[in-house]
Structure 1
Amino acid sequence: MFANYTFENPGFFWLLLLLLPAIAWYFWKRKRQSAELKISSLKGFKVKSSLLAKLKPVLFILRLLALAFLIVAMARPRTVDVTTQSSNVRGIDIVMAIDLSASMLARDFKPNRLEAVKEVAIEFVENRPNDRIGLVLFAGESFTKTPITSDKGIVSRALKDIEYNNVLQGGTAIGSGLATSVNRLKDSDAKSKVIILLTDGVNNAGFIDPKIASELAVEFDIKTYTIGVGSNGNALSPVGMLPNGRFQYGMQKVEIDEALLQQIAADTGGKYFRATNNEKLEEIYEEIDSLEKSEIEEFRYYNYDEKFRPFALLALGLLMLDIILRYTLFRSFI
């Protein structure tokens, strides 16, 4: 009955304990509540049991119930309907810079590095409903795949559509990828700006020094998380092209400029991570997700529906019924 009820003054329920001594008093005094006449013998009297006499305890029960309902009314029962409204107090603008060089097709991840990154990045995007996200791709040069946007569907589709092609100049231009990402964020008015730069190689292309790009990120107060992708040792990687246009694979040493990535992260207030397999890559994105949280201000609106009136009216009704029965039907027994 009270499953959806709350009570504003639950302390009044302690008064229900008064019912116990009232019940004890009634049973102790019940034989003395009727007038007595002592006579030597009942011979000559016709004894007949009265139904009203047996129903007389109903009066006490009515008063007891009236008191109980009155106590419940005093406890002020009510139901509450809660509605919430959230506002984004501190939004985060994020640019994901992803290496698209041929080495990202290495098969030390399943099915390869690029597909593993795409899968984890899409999940990361879908878990950031309150932030704006953009996408930058780089190899020997860099370009913006998706400007920062709050439409997560656009970013997710852009990630799914990423495929290696030889349109981009060969090589790994970490400086260019970072600089393009900074350019996407420098005019943002978000209180927090973040770059997640992912690469599997060393900086060997482009016209922008990674240190210069890092200094630009610091100037525009952009935090950079760097991720080095690749197993330890050797990996089955593209080493040439076959006549049919497909890659020829061979074992290649995994070379990642971890010192550079660590320096970029340290200079910009970010953190460096090394992903050596699919599971580790997923853990890294989960950690970044936990480190960069949007501040959400939630407003709750409470709509109370007071329910004490029915209990008070029921108590009043029981008391009136008690009075009516006492001075009509049970009058001769009082």
Structure 2
Amino acid sequence: MIWENTSYLWLLLLLPAVIGALWWRGRQMRTQRAQYFGEELFASLRRGFWPLANRFKQISLFAGLFFLIISLAGPKIGTEVREIKRQGVDMLIALDLSASMNAEDVRPSRLEKAKFEINRLIERLRGDRVGLVVFTGEAYLQSPMTLDYSALRLFLEIADTNQMPSSATDFQAAMATSMEAFEALEDDDSNASRVLLIVSDGEDHGQQYKETLEELTSQNISVYTLGVGTEDGTTIPIYEEGTNQLVGYKRDGSGQVVTTSLQSETLRRIANLGNGDYYSIERGNDGIDAFLARIDELEKGEFSSQEYADYKNQYQWMGALALFFIVASVLIPSYKHQK
């Protein structure tokens, strides 16, 4: 059981206080009465008085007040099934988890900045279904399309460059996995706009993605890109796992320190071919805000009705009991009819 307004429950403390006060007042009156009247005289003055009915009358009144307070508190017991409908767009976020996303030309790092901005995006969504794909040389569906933004944030929080078997980047893998996720949607007849947002620094070491990108656009999936990093470039730090101490910088096969920079041209090309737009995040957050404005302009679709269980309000039953006992306290006579 849960309560809608728990503050009303404090009124229950008044009931024993009132009962105690009435009992004390009655005792005082009986003491004072005994000084002036005998029991026989007082009984004759109250001819026809019905003690048992009077007791029930008082009990009914306090029972009615008790259930009235319970009703005001709004008890919820059991569950009920409700139907809800959502309108929005279908959006997949493909997050690059390659080693270059650990670069710190954007603080605290490209990956952490990207996750922060994606969280800002999720906070401002209203009724849009969102999923998460993580990719390097391979791609995985981290979270399928969902309206549960809290669950999506948990999947985003655990996304890390160490979870992927490859440290390279392959946009073709991310696009192919995203296309499979869109095809898996049950309500294919929805007229909602479909959007793929690729969040990356643009470095691509994989297969040619043009053919897969054309397949996405042929299915009316718009591909947007969000670049994270700076074009000046920087090194890729390596931290000791557990202590988080800097132990060096990533090197190539010849032992040279690797330098990584934002490859905006690659991301612009993907966005142009994918009927989308390119945005960038360097030190500010203008990129994600511009993308949000674009999402608001897209066609919204009505998703399948969803059923969910919720606690069922039971205040009306408590209110009915309160009314019954209060009316009973009024109707119960304190005196018997004397012939």
Contact 1:110-1:278 at 8 Å conserved across structures: no
Q: Which residue pairs with 2:178 in the alignment?
A: 181
Residue deviations 1:228-256 (CA, integer Å, cap 9, x gap): 21112122423x67798965237864444
Shift of 1:201: 3.3
Separation in 2, partners of 1:145, 1:166: 11
1:195 aligns with 2:201: no
Structure 1 residue 148 and structure 2 residue 145: aligned?
yes
Contact 1:139 1:172 in 2 (8 A): yes
Alignment of 1:49-60 (within 5 A): none
- Separation in 1, partners of 2:267, 2:247: 28
Change (3 A) 1:181 1:295: closer
**Matched residues in 2 for 1:247 and 1:141: separation?**
27
For 1:265, the equivalent position in structure 2 comes to 271
- Select which of 101, 104, 116 maps to 2:101: 104
Aligned partners of 2:198 and 2:291: how far apart in 1? 12
Judged with a 3 Å threshold, the aligned counterparts in structure 2 of structure 1 residues 218 and 265 are, in CA distance, closer, same or farther, namely same
Cα distance in 2 between the residues matched to 1:197 and 1:148: 16
Aligned partners of 1:175 and 1:203 also within 8 Å: no
The answer as to whether partners of 1:198 and 1:228 remain within 8 angstroms in 2 is yes
Cα contact 1:91–1:295 (8 A) shared by 2: yes
Alignment partner for residue 129 of structure 2, among 116, 128, 132? Answer: 132
Structure 2 counterpart of 1:116: 113
Do 1:146 and 1:155's aligned partners in 2 also have CA atoms closer than 8 Å?
yes
Match of 2:248 in 1: 248
TM-score, normalized by length of structure 2? 0.54
Q: How far off its partner does 1:173 sit?
A: 0.7
Measured in 1, the distance between the counterparts of 2:226 and 2:143 equals 20
| Paired residue type of 1:229 | V
User: Contact 2:134–2:159 (CA<8 Å) still a contact in 1?
Assistant: no
The one-character-per-residue Cα deviations of 1:292-327 (angstroms, maximum 9, x if unpaired) are: 46478xxxxxxxxxxxxxxxxxxxxxxxxxxxxxxx
Q: 1:291 to 1:233 in 2, by over 3 A?
A: farther
Letter in 2 for 1:137: V
Shift of 1:197: 0.5
1:234 aligns with 2:240: no
RMSD across aligned C-alpha pairs, in angstroms? 2.9
Conserved in 1, the CA contact under 8 Å of 2:203 and 2:263?
yes
CA contact 1:121–1:285 (8 Å) conserved in 2:
no
1:111 CA drift (Å): 1.0
**Conserved? CA contact 1:221–1:268, under 8 Å:** no
| Contact residue 100 and residue 236 of structure 2 kept, 8 A | yes
Amino acid at match of 1:275: I
Which structure: larger Rg?
1
- 1:275 & 1:139 partners in 2: Cα distance? 20
The answer to whether 1:157 aligns with 2:154 is yes
Could you say which residue in structure 1 is the equivalent of 2:79?
none
- How many angstroms apart in 2 are the aligned matches of 1:118 and 1:222? 23
The CA distance in 2 between the partners of 1:236 and 1:288, in whole Å, is 33
- Once residues 167 and 268 of structure 1 are traced to their aligned partners in structure 2, the CA distance between those partners, rounded to angstroms, is 26
Alpha-carbon displacement from aligned partner over 1:145-178 (angstroms, at most 9, x marks no partner): 0011111111111111212205421200111112
1:175·1:213 contact (CA, 8 Å) conserved in 2?
yes
Q: Normalized against structure 1, the TM-score is what?
A: 0.55
Counterparts in 2 of 1:104 and 1:292: CA distance versus 1, 3 Å: farther
Q: How many residues align?
A: 208
Q: Percent identity?
A: 26
Q: Contact 1:230 / 1:254 at 8 angstroms: preserved in 2?
A: no
Cα 1:292–1:168 change in 2 (3 A) is: farther
Amino acid at match of 2:102: L
Identify the match of residue 280 of structure 2 among 274, 277, 288.
Answer: 274
Match of 1:224 in 2: 223
- Distance in structure 2 (CA, Å) of the matches to 1:282 and 1:197: 12
2:229 partner amino acid: G
